[in-house]
Amino acid sequence: MRMDTAIHPTIASREVTQHILKVFHLRASKKLGQNFLIDAAVVRGIVEAAELQEGDRVLEIGPGIGTLTQGLAESGAQVTAVELDKKLPAVLADAGVSSGCTTVACGTVTWRGLGVPAASCGSGR
């Protein structure tokens, strides 16, 4: 697992998360079931449990502000993150989480032809 190329600052902290939410005028949406991960140890645990190898493909549904996305990307995985909240892809891009190996899409994932048509992000993403 490649952890030597950390993206800074680490999003998985209360202070950074609160700063991001304040700067982007965001609140967790109850309708979307949003919660924001603020514990770096939990992120590390999830990434380690996934036993990712460099270049592994990961589909992350609901990346939020990119806390887990950041850890997954730092492992060397190729992350595709799909976010329903139209405000959040801009946050991911601004935080640098969507650069390099991470793709951010806005919409709904259709699994084996079942699902809801993709929503428009409004920003062309």
- The domains of the chain are located at 14-106
Please tell me which residue, 50 or 4, carries the higher pLDDT value.
50
Order of strands across the sheet with 78-83? 57-61, 78-83, 102-106
Q: Which residues pair with 61 in a beta bridge?
A: 82
pTM: 0.76
pLDDT digits (tens, 9 = 90+) for 26-42: 999 888 888 999 999 99
pLDDT digits (tens, 9 = 90+) for 43-58: 999 999 999 999 999 9
Q: What is the dihedral of CA 16, 71, 61, 30, to 10 degrees?
A: -20
Q: What is the CATH number of domain 14-106?
A: 3.40.50.150
**Residue 99 pLDDT exceeds 70:** no
pLDDT of residue 120: 45
Categorize the per-residue pLDDT at 4 as very low, low, confident or very high, splitting at 50, 70 and 90: very low
Tokens of 120: 């428009």
